Structure 1
Amino acid sequence: MNKKLIEAFGPILLVVISIIYTACNNASSSSSKKQLISFKPIQGIHYSEVQRLQKNGLALNAYGYQLEPQWQINFVSDDSASVYSPIKKQFLNFPLSRGYDSVFNTARAWLRVKKMNKDSLVLEILKAKNDSIEINGSKVYMLFYADNYIKNVLHSDTATLRRPSRRDTQFVKSLVIKANKDITKAFAARHPVQFISKSPLVTAKQLRTKPDIMNNFDTATDYLSPEYDINIDKAYADFYYSFTACVDDRGEMHYLRPLIDFSMVGEEAQKSYIHLSQSVMDSYLKYYFKIIPGTTLGFMHSSNITLHVQGKTSARGESKK
C-alpha cells in the first residue's frame, strides 16, 4: 500500500520538496542581501574624494553646474565617521546609521556603497525628502581613493586627480559656443561675473548663502543664480530696482526681466519700471563698473545674474538737508 502511495504521489512530493527547498534558499539569499553593511574592513583608512560624476561620466550638467569632489572621510567604527568640513576647515565626527542594501547616513547625507576596498571607495548619493529616501538614487557617484594609495601607488595628489577630464572640457566648450552665439543659451558660470568699481560712489557685493542646518549646508544657488547688491551714491534720484540680466563673453550686459509682480498695478507701471531700471543699467552700471564675464573651466561665456540696484541722491553717511 505504501509503495502504491509513493508511486502515485511521488512526483507531487518531489515538487513540494523542490518548492520548499527553493523557498528556503530564496529566504536565505534574501536574508544575506539584507545584511547591514560593515565598515570594519576599511576602518581607520583616510579616503579623499577625487571625482564626482553623473551616470554619463561627466562632472557637469546642461545647466553648467559642476559637481565638485570635496569629501574626505574616515570610518572610525560601524556607527561613527570622521568627515572633513570645508567650512570649518577641520575633521568632524558624525554618527553613522546603517541601513539595508548597503545604504548608510552620515554628515547629513544618505549614501549607498557601490564598491569598497582598502584602496578605493565608490558611493552613490541618494536623495532624501522629508522622511523618505529615493532608493533609486540620484545617479551621482563619488569616487574616493585612500590617501596612502594616492601617494604611494599613484604617486599623485588630490589636486591633480580632481582636475576636469578631457570629456568635461569638450562638453563645456560645446556649451560655451552655443551661449556666446545666443544669450538665451546662457548657463551658470563656475566663477561668476565680477563687478569692479571705477568710482568710490558705486559698490557691488555678491550675496552669499550662509550654510546652515536649515538649507542642509547647500549653497548651490550662489553658483546657479548669483545675486548682487549694487549701491549708487549721489544718484539722480532715490530708487530701488530688481531685475535679471545676462552678461555675455565680452562683459556686455543685456536686460532680461524685472523681478516685480505687476499684476496689481497694471501694464503702464510695468513699462515704466522696465524703462527706468534698464536706463540705470545702461548708464550707471555700464559706465561705472568694469564687468568681467563669468567663466567655467577657464572659458568666458554668457551667464545670467540677478541685480538689486539702490540709488541715493546723498552719499552714504551723509544726511539730507
Structure 2
Amino acid sequence: MITKTKLPVLLLTLSIFFNLACKQPPIVKHNGEKDLISFKPVWGVAYSEISRHTANGLSFTNYGYQMEPQWRINFVSNDSASIYSPTKGKFINFPLTRGYDSIFNTARTWLKVKAMNRDSLKLEIINSYGDTVDKRGTKIYMTFYADNYIKNTLHTDTAILKRANHKDSLFIKRLSDASNKDYTKAFAARQPATLSSTSHKVKVKKWIAEGDLLNHFDTSDDYMNPTFDIAITKAYADFYYSFSVYIDADGQMHYNEPLIPFLGQSLKDNYIHQSTAVMNGYLKHYLKVTPGKTLNMLHASKINIHVQGITGI
C-alpha cells in the first residue's frame, strides 16, 4: 500500500525514469524535416557575393591567391538554386540537396549557412572527401547581400562593396616590401606580369584559363601561374626550353628553375646553362616586360615560359 507521504517520492522517481528513457544519445544525423535548413523565407531573393575571406578577415593568402567574391545566387525552392555562370552569361538552375546542421550542396559545392535573412547571407565553405562531409568547415566565409538591399538601402553597387579592405592592403604592402628586397620572396600578382615582343622574329602567346562547372568557374590560374609560349624564328639553333622566371618590381628577369624533371644532375646543369643563355640572349633583348602588381602595388612575381627556337625561317 502506497501512503500519501510516499506518493510524491514515487512520482518524482517515475518522472526521472521517464525522462532518462526518452532522452536519446547524441548522434550526427537527426530525424525529421525540422532539422533540415529551409530556404523558404528567402525564396526569390537575389543575392550577390560581396566578400570571401578567412577567419582572420583576409581575402589574400601568403602566395597571393585572392579569394574573390564571384557568386550570384537565388534560392528557387528547397530543392533548387539559380546560380549565375560568368562564362555563359546567364543564370543556371542547379539541384540543391539539404543536409543536417544547416549544410547543403549545390553546383558541386558543400556549404553551411551561418546566417540568413532577406538582406544578407553568410555561408561557410565545407570540404568533402568522397561520401564524407567535414562538418568542421574550412573557415572560409562567403558574405552575400541582397541586390535590393544593395541598391535601395546601401545605395551603392557590388563593385564598390567588393573592394579590398584595409587589412588586405596592409597585408599586401608587407608582402610587396619583402619581395622587393628579395625577389625570391615573390608572390602571385593579381594583375600578373606581362610579356610583349619588340621584334617580328619573336611571337608571344599567353595561356588563358577557362572557368567551367568542374572548377567552379575558377580562372585564378591566369594570375597564380602565368604561362607564356614564345616562338623565335631565325634562331641560332633549333631548341625548346621550359623554365620559370622571377620578374622583379623593375621588370627585370631572373632565372628560377627548369619546369621538367631530369635523371641526372649533369643533364640538369646543362639544361639550366643553355636555357639561361636563351633568356639572356633573346628574351631580355626582344621582350618588353611589365611587372606584376596587386592592389596597385608593384612587386616581384613569377611566370612560366615555354620557348621554342626555329632556324631557317
Calculate the TM-score normalised by the size of structure 1.
Answer: 0.89
Whether the 8 Å contact between 1:119 and 1:146 is mirrored in structure 2 is: yes
Once the 2 structures are TM-superposed, how far is the Cα of residue 210 of structure 1 from its aligned partner?
3.2
* Structure 2 residue aligned with 1:177: 177
Query: Alpha-carbon deviation of 1:300?
Result: 1.0
Distance 1:196 1:113, change over 3 A: same
1:271 matches 2:265: no
* SS at structure 2 position matched to 1:104: strand
CA contact (8 A) 1:48 1:147 kept: yes
Query: Is 1:232 the equivalent of 2:232?
Result: yes
Deviations 1:271-318 (A, max 9, x none): 211111001111211110110111111111111111111111133xxx
Q: CA deviation at 1:33?
A: 9.8
2:91 corresponds to: 91
Counterparts of 1:184-195 in structure 2 under 5 Å?
A: 184-195=184-195
With over 3 angstroms needed to count, the CA separation of the structure-2 counterparts of 1:133 and 1:180, relative to structure 1, is same
Measured in 2, the distance between the counterparts of 1:16 and 1:229 equals 81
State the Cα distance separating 1:109 from its structure 2 match.
1.2
1:300 aligns with 2:298: yes
Residues 206, 16 of structure 1: alpha-carbon distance in 2 compared, 3 angstrom cutoff:
farther
Q: Within 2, Cα distance between the matches of 1:150 and 1:34?
A: 31
Partners of 1:287 and 1:28 lie apart in 2 by 70
**Structure 2 Cα separation of the partners of residues 60 and 169 of structure 1:** 10
Q: Deviations for 1:218-276, whole angstroms, at most 9, x for unmatched residues? A: 4333332222111111111100001111111011111111122222xx33322211111
Partner of 1:197: 197
RMSD: 2.5
Q: Give per-residue Cα distances to partners, 1:152-176, cap 9 Å, x unaligned.
A: 1111110111111111111100110
- Give percent identity, aligned residues only: 52
- Listed as ranges, the matches of 1:247-258 within 5 Å are 247-258=247-258
Query: Cα gap change, 1:66/1:109 in structure 2, threshold over 3 Å: closer, same or farther?
Result: same
Gaps of 5+ in 1: 316-321
1:290 to 288, 296, 307: 288
Map of 2:278 onto structure 1: 280
Equivalent-residue separation in structure 1 for 2:45 and 2:222 (angstroms): 34
Are residue 140 (structure 1) and residue 140 (structure 2) matched? yes
2:118 aligned partner = 118
Instruction: Give, in whole Å, the separation in 1 of the partners of 2:221 and 2:265.
Output: 31
Cα distance change on mapping 1:3 and 1:59 into 2, 3 Å: same
Q: 1:300 to 1:72 in 2, by over 3 A?
A: same
Pairwise CA distance, 1:22 = 5.8
1:71, distance to aligned residue in structure 2 (A): 0.8
2:61 alignment partner in structure 1: 61
CA offsets per residue over residues 125-150 of structure 1, 9 Å max, x none?
11223332222111111111111111
**What is the Cα deviation at residue 212 of structure 1?**
4.0
C-alpha distance in 1 between matches for 2:33 and 2:15? 24
Asked if 2 retains the 8 angstrom alpha-carbon contact of 1:196 and 1:289, the reply is yes
Aligned to 1:18: 16
**How many aligned positions are there?**
311
Q: Quote how far apart the aligned CAs of 1:3 are.
A: 3.4
Aligned to 2:2: 2
Measured at CA, do residues 153 and 211 of structure 1 come closer, stay the same or move farther in structure 2, by a change above 3 Å?
A: closer
Measure the CA separation in 2 of the matches of 1:198 and 1:219: 28
Q: Distance in 1 between matches of 2:24 and 2:154?
A: 42
| SS state at 2:3 partner | helix
Alpha-carbon separation, structure 2, partners of 1:161 and 1:88:
24
Structure 2: where are the runs of 5+ without partners?
Answer: none
Listed as ranges, the matches of 1:143-182 within 5 Å are 143-182=143-182
| Residue 299 to residue 15, structure 1, CA distance change in 2 (3 Å) | farther
Q: Give the 3-state SS of the residue equivalent to 1:96 in structure 2.
A: strand
The separation in 1 between residues aligned to 2:143 and 2:20, in whole angstroms, is: 38
Output the CA distance in 2 between the equivalents of 1:278 and 1:16. Answer: 86
8 A contact 1:102–1:112 mirrored in 2: yes
Q: Which residue of 2 aligns with 1:80?
A: 80
